[in-house]
Amino acid sequence: MEAPEGGGGGPAARGPEGQPAPEARVHFRVARFIMEAGVKLGMRSIPIATACTIYHKFFCETNLDAYDPYLIAMSSIYLAGKVEEQHLRTRDIINVSNRYFNPGGEPLELDSRFWELRDSIVQCELLMLRVLRFQVSFQHPHKYLLHYLVSLKNWLNRHSWQRTPVAVTAWALLRDSYHGGLCLRFQAQHIAVAVLYLALQVYGVEVPAEVEAEKPWWQ
């Protein structure tokens, strides 16, 4: 199972003139792999978010040159399933990953190569737990965003809410935020407010009575 090559550094790295550094592009692609593999494995949104967070946190502690990012990603998926009580079989993770990298290929045979990869995932999980000092439980923005969306829906005119996909856009922005290390740099409730604010800005939706209020709604 061949994966694209990586670089070195942390998930928030930037290159000249503010362009994403090579390692940031690697982390973006690997996070996309985690999300797509997670969907194919039937993972819920929270376990996928946990897998991405584990991955980014691991590479905040280590150098990308020292580890295969896609092996770390597969182990992150496996570990996130345990943390969020949605247990996954290593065989399923391997098969989905193999199909991701080789769309037209055959499933891996249960040969020595398969068992070596399975053992690598399990050993890598133990390594990640030690590096992260067993701190692999996280507070995600999802519950905050859900609460904010329900409150906003009650504030807005019903027709305004129905004709603008604010909720869908906010959830999509939240999901995309896990391509990078925002989940480690900001509090969960702040990320939830930020994606909701951006979704409202995209569609030009104004929160009722905001002009008269002493503070902006997001404060």
What b/e readout covers 179-192, taking b as 16+ CB neighbours within 10 angstroms? bbbbbeeeebeebb
Which of the pair, 140 or 208, is modelled with greater confidence?
Answer: 140
pLDDT at site 26: 94
- Tens digits of per-residue pLDDT, 106-124? 778 888 889 999 999 999 9
- What's the pLDDT at 112? 87
Which domains does the chain carry?
A: 16-131 (1.10.472.10), 142-203 (no CATH)
Phi first, then psi, for residue 218 (nearest 5°) are -75, -10
Q: Which of the pair, 127 or 157, is modelled with greater confidence?
A: 127
pLDDT digits over 63-104, tens only? 988 999 999 999 999 999 999 999 999 999 999 999 999 888
Would you give the distance in Å from CA 29 to the centre of its chain? 11
Higher pLDDT, 182 or 8: 182
User: Hey, how many other C-beta atoms are within 10 angstroms of the C-beta on 9?
Assistant: 18
Which residues, other chains included, contact 52 with Cβ-Cβ below 8 Å and sequence gap of 6+? 31, 34, 35, 76, 178, 179, 183
